[in-house]
Amino acid sequence: MGGFFNYDNPVWRFVGRIWDLFILNLLWVICSIPIITFGAATTAMYYCTLKVAKDRDSGGMFMLFFHSFKDNIKQSTLIWIIMAVTGGILFFDIRFFSIYAPIQNTFIRMIIFTVTCFLMLLWLFIFLYVFPIQAKFINPIKQTFKLALFMSIKHLVRTVIILAGSIVILVVVYYLIMRLPGVMSMLVLVLGSGISLFQASQFNMVFDKYINEENE
């Protein structure tokens, strides 16, 4: 009986981890509400999950989250603004050239549309990596963007795993909520941090290859 109430018991460790993910998800949502702080909140969440994935989360979620949030708020906000603006432009271009573009030549329209879709894919790759890199390494913004593009392409298989795994998690959670809405709706409370933890476990495999080459 004493073993069950031991905090090192696997059951309690699992419960504790779920609680940490709930707190982290809540902090991320609240700190993202102003929209402009989404980048800093996302960086802070990855800062926590990168440590959790390696079981180095001593100090609690509050302390870890706000430590990163405060340290990265300026640079992460600039990164977020750049990503939001470029993403909006690319999305508009895709819509424009696929529907509204006054170009009669179908071949030319297809070339422009294909190039824009390719640029959108690169944007997605950068978006996937840029905040985890900001959370893990200390670099100027320009270097952070370069690393995001470089790592996402060099480790393309890992990038695909991260993207596919995140989509699978979203689909499974959606399916469970539709099947058992009263019970499974609670999964939403850890959805963001849960996906971040999965991604962090993959990002750590990539980042460990550069840990001696970059300043943490």
Question: Does any domain span residue 3?
Answer: no
pLDDT digit string (tens) for 181-202?
A: 876 778 889 999 999 999 999 9
Q: Which long-range contacts (C-beta less than 8 Å, at least 24 apart) are formed by 171-179?
A: none
The pLDDT of residue 87: 95
pLDDT tier for residue 116 given thresholds of 50, 70 and 90: confident
* 139 is a domain residue: yes
- Whether 136 maps to a domain, the answer reads yes
Residue 1 inside a domain? The answer is no
Percent of the chain with pLDDT over 70: 86
Per-residue confidence (pLDDT) for residue 216, from 0 to 100? 47
99 within domain boundaries:
yes
Give domain status of residue 2, yes or no. Answer: no
CB–CB of 96/89 below 8 Å?
no
Q: Does the structure show a pLDDT above 70 at 5?
A: no
What total number of domains does the chain contain? Answer: 1
Closest CA to 37 of 3, 1, 85, 74: 74
What pLDDT is attached to residue 102?
Answer: 63
pLDDT score of 185 = 75
Which has more confidence, 136 or 96? Answer: 136
Q: Does the structure show a pLDDT above 50 at 108?
A: yes
Query: What ranges in the chain are assigned the alpha helix state H?
Result: 10-32, 38-52, 61-95, 106-136, 141-154, 156-179, 181-184, 191-207
pLDDT at 213: 45
pLDDT at 111: 81
Percentage of the chain exceeding pLDDT 90:
65
What is the span of the domain harbouring residue 152?
10-212
Give the dihedral sign, CA 10/12/16/19.
positive
Of residues 111 and 163, the one with the higher pLDDT is: 163
Residue-level pLDDT at 196: 97
Per-residue pLDDT tens for 39-81?
999 999 999 999 999 887 766 899 999 999 999 999 999 999 9
Any domain includes 5:
no
Q: Count Cβ atoms below 10 Å from residue 158 Cβ, excluding itself.
A: 15
Q: pLDDT tens across 152-168, in order?
A: 999 999 999 999 999 99
